Amino acid sequence: MLELRAPGDEAELEAALALRERVFCGEQGVSPEADRDGRDPEALHVVAVEHGHVVGTCRLLMEEETARLGRMAVDRGARGKGLGAALLAEAERRATEAGARRVMLHAQERARSLYARGGYQPVGEPFMEEGLPHIAMEKTLA
């Protein structure tokens, strides 16, 4: 059974951070320093937990009425099952609860369609971030 929620304890948060490291640093070559930017303590974290294991994560950084979504990662074995869309929906729900009126993010080009299907619109031109092509996207929340 899949649960989408805030980390239940410090161990789940650490499992989410370890998942990010595996995906971003191990698979994509992002530096650990870029992933661990020091902002995790202030973030609202969302985890996807299946059979007691964290298989997906993302975080929200609140800036007044804007939530900055980032660090979305899904375990290799859990991809292609709609988990990214489910994480996105839960993150939007939590952002709305926290008072956000819009969500902004930097989407990796290969994940752009996931966000577009979720109602996100591109803003500006593509750019490189940590050696990977990205596009800024945003969505107004209801």
Give residue 25's pLDDT: 93
Q: How many other C-beta atoms can be found within 10 angstroms of the C-beta atom of residue 139?
A: 19
Residues 6+ apart with CB under 8 A from 87: 4, 46, 48, 56, 57, 58, 72, 74
pTM of the model: 0.93
Inside any domain, residue 96: yes
Which range marks the domain in which residue 84 is found? 2-103
* Listed residue (105, 40, 107, 17) closest to 69, CA to CA: 105
Per-residue pLDDT tens over the stretch 94-126? 999 999 999 999 999 999 999 999 999 999 999
The 44-50 sheet, strands edge to edge: 2-5, 44-50, 53-63, 66-74, 102-108, 132-140, 121-129
The pLDDT of residue 59 is: 98
pLDDT at 8: 95
42 located within any domain: yes
Tell whether the model's pLDDT for residue 2 goes beyond 80.
yes
Look at the chain and report how many structural domains it folds into: 1
pLDDT in tens, 13-71: 999 999 999 999 999 999 998 899 999 999 999 999 999 999 999 999 999 999 999 99
Q: From CA 64, how far away is CA 68, in angstroms rounded? A: 10
* pLDDT at 1 > cutoff 90: no
CB distance 135 to 122 below 8 Å: yes
Q: Is residue 91 part of a domain?
A: yes
Looking up residue 34, the CATH number of its domain turns out to be 3.40.630.30
- Per-residue model confidence as pLDDT tens digits over 60-102: 999 999 999 999 999 999 999 999 999 999 999 999 999 999 9
Measure Cα distances from 42 to 60, 77, 132 in Å: 9, 29, 26
Predicted confidence at residue 50, as pLDDT, reads 95
Question: What pLDDT is attached to residue 142?
Answer: 77
50 in a domain, yes or no? yes
Q: Is residue 114 part of a domain?
A: no
